[in-house]
């Protein structure tokens, strides 16, 4: 059992579909450049999404977001 805090569902539901896709890519260790290429959006757009994700999830940096997002089933959120 991991003792890393996970995000409550209501925080994740505050994210847009694209933000969830960006967060999922972040958890896979992709850089902003890689995420931009994969999702076919501008790198500046990725940076804006990352900033919004950190703010909405109430974390201070990318590492905190990734650690807390590690056990999220992105498929269930992205299907909505």
Give me the mean pLDDT over the 32-51 stretch. 98
Torsion of Cα atoms, 34 then 39 then 43 then 47, to 10°: -100
**CB neighbour class for 35 (10 Å; exposed up to 12, middle 13-18, buried from 19):** buried
Write down the pLDDT at residue 43: 98
pLDDT of residue 1: 43
Contact 50, 26 (CB under 8 A): yes
Asked whether the predicted pLDDT for residue 5 surpasses 70, the reply is no
Its pTM stands at 0.86
> Which residues, at least 6 apart from 55, have a Cβ–Cβ distance to it below 8 Å?
none
The domains found in the chain, sorted by start residue, are 9-78 (1.10.10.10)
| Residue pair 19/49 in contact by the 8 Å Cβ criterion | yes
**Higher pLDDT among residues 6 and 15, named by residue:** 15
């Amino acid at each position: 059992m991991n003792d890393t805090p996970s995000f409550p569902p209501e925080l994740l539901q505050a994210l847009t579909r694209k933000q969830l896709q960006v967060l999922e890519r972040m958890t896979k260790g992709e850089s902003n450049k890689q995420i931009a290429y994969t999702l076919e959006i501008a790198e500046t757009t990725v940076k804006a999404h990352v900033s919004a994700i950190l703010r909405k999830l109430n974390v201070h940096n990318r590492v905190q977001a990734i650690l807390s997002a590690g056990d999220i089933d992105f498929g269930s959120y992205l299907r909505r």
